[in-house]
């Protein structure tokens, strides 16, 4: 794993709902890029308090397990939109147990299929969320808060090369989309 792409306490990320996965892949094939992972299943386990305090504070804590790559991550996002930190862990079961010992409980379990590509300094993911759709995320992690606006402009330019623009932008987190899906499927 090219861990240099995932270092930093800030993440500039643009997520787009894909009108066509095949068009995305055709464009990608024409660009110089490196493949990190193809079609990994990511199982995310989100934790919160019984009163959803983290969600109310725009924070999330997630333990992610990726197969077949075997990567396991502890991810914390928020409260600022661009704030994101992740660290590799060895034992996801123990990490989940530790969170539960501290009073957190599982708030959401979600799965997605993810491929990760590197285009220059940026990482681009192709995601599939069952029942929700295909998405592409264009992102960079950094410790340089002063660069966030510049990176956003550069990511918008990169996304435009794939034919993606503001109407395709998805501003909701995957967690929000999964919660919406669960709410809709329980109402007849």
Backbone CA torsion sign across 63, 13, 32, 8: negative
pLDDT band at residue 4 under the 50/70/90 scheme:
low
Give residue-wise pLDDT tens across range 120-142.
999 999 999 988 999 999 999 88
Q: Please state whether the predicted TM-score (pTM) of the whole model is above 0.85.
A: no
- Mean pLDDT (the chain, rounded): 91
- Mean pLDDT for 146-157 is 94
Q: pLDDT exceeding 90 applies to what percent of the chain?
A: 74
The structural domains of the chain, ordered by start, are 3-186 (2.40.320.10)
Cα-Cα end-to-end distance for the chain: 44
What's residue 186's pLDDT?
54
What's residue 100's pLDDT?
97
46 is catalytic: yes
Give residue-wise pLDDT tens across range 31-72.
999 999 999 999 999 999 999 999 999 999 999 999 999 999
In the set 46, 122, 151, 174, the catalytic residue is 46
* Nearest CA among 115, 108, 51, 57 for reference residue 81: 57
């Amino acid at each position: 794993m090219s861990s240099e792409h995932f270092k930093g306490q800030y993440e500039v990320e643009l997520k787009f709902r894909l009108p066509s996965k095949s068009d995305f892949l055709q464009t990608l094939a024409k660009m110089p890029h490196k493949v990190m992972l193809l079609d990994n299943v990511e199982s995310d386990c989100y934790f919160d308090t019984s009163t959803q305090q983290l969600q109310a504070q725009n924070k999330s804590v997630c333990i992610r397990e990726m197969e077949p790559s075997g990567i396991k991550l502890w991810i914390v996002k928020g409260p600022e939109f661009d704030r994101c930190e992740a660290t590799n862990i060895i034992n996801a079961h123990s990490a989940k147990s530790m969170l539960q010992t501290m009073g957190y409980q599982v708030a959401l379990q979600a799965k997605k299929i993810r491929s990760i590509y590197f285009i220059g300094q940026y990482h681009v993911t192709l995601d599939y969320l069952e029942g929700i759709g295909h998405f592409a995320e264009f992102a960079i992690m950094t410790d340089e808060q002063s660069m966030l606006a510049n990176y956003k402009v550069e990511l918008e330019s990169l996304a435009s090369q794939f034919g993606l623009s503001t109407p395709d932008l998805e501003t909701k987190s995957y967690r929000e989309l999964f919660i919406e899906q669960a709410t809709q499927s329980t109402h007849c």
